[in-house]
Chains A and B, each alone.
Chain A
Amino acid sequence: MNFIKKLVLGAATAALLSSTALSAELTVYTAVEAEDLKRYAAEFNKDHPDIKINWVRDSTGIVTAKLLAEKDNPQADVVWGLAATSLLLMKAEGMLEAYAPKGVELLDKKFVDKSTPPTWTGMDAWVASVCYNTVEAKKAGLTPPKSWKDLLQAQYKGHLIMPNPNSSGTGFLDVSSWLQIFGEKAGWEYMDGLHENIARYTHSGSKPCKLAAAGEIPIGISFAFRGAKSKAAGAPIEIIVPSEGVGWDMEATAIIAGTDDLDAAKTLVDWTVTKKANEMYNTGYAVVAYPGVAKPVKFFPENLTEKMIDNDFEFAANNRGAILKEWQKRYDGKSDPK
């Protein structure tokens, strides 16, 4: 009797313990591609089966807007995979919990917030590139561009598409990189010229590349990751890395201040900086935060890493409003029906 009682009690305690252990649930906001998300969660749960991840996935702009709108009553516990530029906005609002994940010192400094303790840590970089549809270009009699400046040539008039920086993070990344590469004055002059050649601006950053892949337009200014994926899907495109250098942003991770379960959040963020996690990021992204991990990704241009400019995220974040205003004044007003 006593033995049975003990057994029952033991089983009940075990059940109780395991149920409390399983009870940790984190709401994680992300802009990571949907096809990668399930893999990320599965890999994480191999090491931490006790923490369940509830993804809220959307494009960078929507996730950012959502987080900012929820500023006073945050719903997210962790952000895993959102542009660092967006996280900088949240940092300025005091929305991020400063935390140095275990092993953060092993990461490339470029990928870690400079505050101590850091408020966010980078995962991987997405790098601007030009997607060039060889079939359609040939039909239109175009020669492949080698540099950003080449895109000003008259032969590309109406054959070029880029994301609108007012609605796309990639678009803003391009604009801010041109301003950094060419300097402010020459940067705007460059865009004046480019505007003459642009067929239209899209709202999303990956769309120009997908449109190029579908032959809807010969040249799309987009990012390398997208180009590689479309190429893998069989699209007749080349990914061109302009010689002046390319802008980039990183996907990053942060804990939202005010999370219900700080311990679980820390466990997750600790895991996101591990070598294992970085190897996981590497399946899609050629440049990751953990040095020495990255293996070349199929269809990714090889010289990409050296062409990444020394991006000043602070410049980008603190001048974003002014740059967008200027861009809108110059190009959005002109974009009337002809």
Chain B
Amino acid sequence: MSTQADALTIDDIPGARIKPKLGRDDWLMRGFIAMIAIYLVVALALPLYAMLSKAFSTYSYDLTQFEFQVSDDQGVFDGKILSAKALNDALKIYSESDLSAGSGGRLAVTKLFPKFSFRSPKLYRVRGTSDKAVYLIGSERHSGREWVELDSNKFRRVVLRPVPSTGLSNFSTYFSTPALVNSIKNSLLISAISTIITVTLAFAFAYSLNRSCMRFKGMFRLIAMAPILVPSLLPGIALVYLFGNQGMLKSFMLGESIYGPIGIVIGSVFFTFPHAMLIISTALAISDARLYEAAVSLRASSWKTFWTVTIPGARYGLISAAFVVFNLVITDFGLPKVIGGQFNMLAVDIYKQVIGQQNFEMGAVVSVVLLVPAMFAFGIDRVVQRKQVALLTSRSVVYQPTPNGRFDRLSFAYCTLVAIFIVGILGVCQYAALVKFWPYDLSLSLKNYAFDLMDGGGWDAYRNSIKMAGLVAFFGTVVVFVGAYMVEKTQGFKYGRSLFQFLAMLPMAIPGMVLGLAYIFFFNNPDNPLNFIYGTMAILVLCTVTHFYTVSHLTAVTALKQMDNEFESVNSSLKQPFYKLFMRVSVPVSLPAILDISIYLFVNAMTTVSAVVFLYSSGTALAAIAVLNMDDAGDVAPAAAMGMMIFYTNAGARIVHLVISKFVLKRTQGWRAR
């Protein structure tokens, strides 16, 4: 008896394991998590699943489904039935790989009849052996099991259509096509180079802003955020005007062409710079001054302090920024499309497959390939996060820079250079928009603003964009911040939170074009109860919030992470419901981040192209799409003009944001200053 009792483990004794009791708060919070998780599942996971299944849906010619009869020269049939499969097996005309096709594939039938001549008096009969078998006579679609009799001249026009099945053959086609596989290397290379350059430049910039006492910080911060206000293809347009064959600074290129990797990297650095700057700056802004005081009292050199305090403190921000930039570059298609020239990138391949060849399956395969870096980024994020400790504890003191003449001047010079680059690009676009006919008629006019005469939806598109951006900013901010709070500050429920975190990271890796397509397949399915939002503003808003979920989420999480979880402990020991803490402490403390999120969503909704290019309808054309379409049609100057309209609108929104932020900071963030 007693030996048996010894063998019992603690788990066998009922009630012996200490399990925290779930209070009403916990249930409520889980309810919130579940709600936002459901949102992400519907807006992201299910459409992606629809897209994935597209990647595995293959088309192949099922030769067993077709049968023929051939008459003699007098047109008399002997009744012998030839199956297409038997013919091919005997003659080995089509190999296995010839028989796998895209959804639009056609297979010529006459090749199965080596002696076929369209002049012969022979007659032919063709039929399917199942109702699913489809063949074309010329462009006429036929199906069914009835024999169709044709003369030989008609018979040469018969082609077979593939039948759908599932399998991996799309992938084997992809990996055996060098032109497609090459893009993987190109995309990784360009993204890596752009990431290193952008993160380095952005860190230096953010560091100057946060740690120096240089003048005009506000202005620099404003200018640094400017690229976020324009569509990613706008720097491409500017680079063409600067360094193209008719460019103002063409000689700077030393004979190299801007159309290709050089152009993509410069443009990518431009449009990803604010993204990286925003994240790194957030990480640098709230570092604990006590660490620096300790470093000073330990007589550490500033160089040593930089590597032992600053960098480790900003580590999480740096890594976040790196993978945000990497994914932005690798998933962007606007810029390589405008300035990439011959240089194939994955995102452009999707465009080429889907738009050029209407090969949705191959487009889906390329997107699956693009998903790999995202998974990688997600893995890194998890590892880093586990090591991260809260920097801003309830006892923290905010770092205040002290003047240092040499460092401040250096910072100022550096920031000026970056600012010139950014303002220069925008200035060139504005100039291009006003010039009548570059480079032959340099007189200024407003004719490029007559959008109603051009592709893209005219001024209505511009108004639609503002409406959509407003909706995205409002609903997006609510969803994102509540979601981030729940996932950061709940206890337990580990797997649910991991799943949520995973879903929240995913949008960053999904090229907009893929998301848009996924939405078509998911929401345009007549069996989908949400079918009614297809073609409306709602689907544009849903798609855009989802597309830009990750950075907003990271911003919120970074801000929330810097708030010690002790706040929650204190709150619950005071027996206060969590929403009181949320409304009275978390939201006010995080207000700068919340405002940043809403402005981030607003400007991105104004500038997004790829995510919505498949989803807009007659009443919901958008400005950024107009930029793309006008550039695509070669109306480059009007495209620049519309791009600058987006810029001014976003700049206006930024100014409003700035004013509100100032006011809010005074009201809620006074405690930060000493």
Contact = CB atoms under 8 A, between A and B. Distances in A.
A70 interface: yes
B430 interface: no
With most chain B CB atoms within 10 A of its CB, the pick from A62, A88, A206 is A62
B629 A58 contact: yes
A233 B438 CA distance: 11
A337 B245 CA distance: 18
A69 interface: yes
Interface string A172-203: 00000000000000000000000000001101
A321 B457 CA distance: 32
Interface in A71-105: 72-73, 75, 88-89, 91-94
A14 B244 CA distance: 63
A69 B524 contact: yes
Interface stretch (B193-201, B213-221, B350-358, B543-551): B350-358
A328 B245 contact: no
B632 A207 contact: yes
B342 interface: yes
A255 interface: no
A34 B526 contact: no
A321 B104 contact: yes
A56 interface: yes
Contact of A167 (B244, B356, B613): B356
B164 interface: no
B106 A321 contact: yes
A92 B524 contact: no
Interface string B82-125: 00000000000000000001101110100000000000000000
Contact of A337 (B140, B343, B613): B343
B240 interface: yes
Contacts of A321: 101-102, 104-106, 357
A38 B451 CA distance: 13
B351 A167 contact: yes
Interface stretch (A208-216, A240-248, A286-294): A208-216
A235 to B, nearest CB: 7
A210 B636 contact: yes
Contacts of B526: 72-73
B360 A69 contact: yes
Contact of B629 (A59, A66, A73, A336): A59
Contacts of A66: 520, 614
Nearest to A53: B618
A33 B440 contact: no
Contacts of B619: 54
Interface stretch (B175-183, B323-331, B553-561, B577-585): B175-183
Interface string B615-637: 00111000000000100111110
Contact of B453 (A35, A206, A214, A314): A35
Given A72-B526, A200-B259, A314 B138 contact: yes
Contact of B352 (A56, A166, A226): A166
B106 A215 contact: no
Contacts of A6: none
A73 B635 CA distance: 33
Interface in B454-476: 454-458
Nearest to B262: A337
B219 to A, nearest CB: 35
A211 B259 CA distance: 13
Contacts of B138: 114, 314
B497 interface: no
A92 to B, nearest CB: 6
Contact of B440 (A113, A206, A207, A236): A236
A215 B246 contact: yes
From DSSP, what is the main secondary structure of chain A's interface residues? Answer: mixed
Interface string A314-338: 1001111100100011001101110
A65 interface: yes
Given A55-B618, A70-B520, A234 B356 contact: no
A249 B106 CA distance: 21
B441 interface: yes
B498 interface: no
Given A73-B526, A115-B139, A333-B178, A234 B455 contact: no
A318 B136 contact: yes
Nearest to A209: B634
B140 A56 contact: no
Interface string B310-322: 0000000000000
Nearest to A67: B358
B48 interface: no
A27 interface: yes
Nearest to B102: A321
From DSSP, what is the main secondary structure of chain B's interface residues? Answer: loop
B254 to A, nearest CB: 15
A69 B440 contact: no
A249 to B, nearest CB: 14
Contact of B525 (A72, A88, A113, A328): A72
Contacts of B102: 321
A144 interface: no
Contacts of B157: 314, 318
Contacts of B453: 34-35
B517 interface: yes
Nearest to A27: B618
A232 to B, nearest CB: 11
Interface string B355-376: 1111010000000000000000
B351 A234 contact: no
Contacts of B290: none
Contacts of B177: 328-329, 333
A217 interface: yes
B139 A167 contact: no
B351 A92 contact: no
A235 B635 CA distance: 13
A310 to B, nearest CB: 16
Interface in B600-616: 613-614
Contact of B344 (A113, A206, A207, A332): A332
A56 B617 contact: yes
Contacts of B159: 318
Nearest to A62: B355
B304 to A, nearest CB: 42
A123 B520 CA distance: 30
B139 A336 contact: no
B341 A200 contact: yes
A61 B363 CA distance: 14
Contacts of A135: 440
Contacts of A211: 634
Contacts of A113: 139
Interface of A: 27, 33-35, 38, 54-59, 61-62, 64-66, 68-70, 72-73, 75, 88-89, 91-94, 113-115, 135, 164-168, 200-201, 203-204, 206-207, 209-211, 213-217, 226, 233-236, 313-314, 317-321, 324, 328-329, 332-333, 335-337
5 contacts: A35-B453, A68-B360, A92-B161, A235-B437, A336-B182
Interface of B: 101-102, 104-106, 108, 136, 138-141, 157, 159, 161, 177-179, 182, 240, 244-246, 259-261, 337, 341-344, 351-352, 354-358, 360, 437-441, 452-458, 517, 520-521, 524-526, 531, 534-535, 613-614, 617-619, 629, 632-636
Given A59-B455, A201-B342, 11 more contacts: A33-B455, A65-B360, A91-B141, A210-B633, A211-B634, A234-B440, A314-B139, A314-B157, A318-B136, A329-B179, A336-B343
